[in-house]
């Protein structure tokens, strides 16, 4: 399953809900969700602990638009829009965490 998180961990509990309820697969952080994968962020420890259970991705355009592309955590793969489409096509199901 592809889990898509678009809210900042500072704003909503979407990332926490995803990490607690989802059963493996991949997590793609988009829009303000990319803040969860920055070094030193509130979500850093949670993302690191989930690295063994999930493949972690962040949309590069959203990280660049927020000026944080150079602060992404190790283990988080930046993908472009084509990569986003590839992830959706690769997974049988997608879950958006609002």
The domain spanning residue 8 has which CATH number?
A: 3.40.1260.10
Beta bridge pairs of residue 77: 57
Alpha helices in the chain (DSSP H): 14-21, 44-50, 60-65, 81-90
pLDDT greater than 90 at residue 56: yes
Q: How many CA atoms lie within 13 A of 37 on its CB side?
A: 35
pLDDT greater than 90 at residue 54: yes
- For the chain, what is the domain count? 1
Across the range 8-20, mean pLDDT stands at: 91
Across the range 76-87, mean pLDDT stands at: 98
Rounded mean pLDDT of the chain?
93
Note the pLDDT of residue 28.
Answer: 98
pLDDT digits (tens, 9 = 90+) for 30-47: 999 999 999 998 878 888
Distance, CA of 74 to CA of 46 (rounded, Å):
13
Note the pLDDT of residue 52.
Answer: 85
What percentage of the chain carries pLDDT values higher than 70?
Answer: 100
Domain span at 30: 2-97
Alpha helices in 39-80 (DSSP H): 44-50, 60-65
């Amino acid at each position: 399953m592809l889990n898509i998180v678009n809210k900042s961990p500072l704003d909503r509990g979407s990332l926490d809900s995803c990490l607690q309820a989802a059963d493996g697969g991949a997590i793609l952080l988009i829009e303000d969700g990319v803040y969860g994968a920055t070094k030193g962020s509130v979500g850093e420890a949670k993302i690191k602990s989930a690295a063994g259970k999930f493949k972690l991705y962040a949309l590069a355009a959203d990280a660049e638009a927020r000026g944080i592309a150079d602060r992404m955590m190790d283990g988080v793969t930046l993908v472009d829009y084509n990569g986003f489409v590839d992830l959706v096509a690769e997974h049988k199901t997608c879950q958006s965490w609002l």
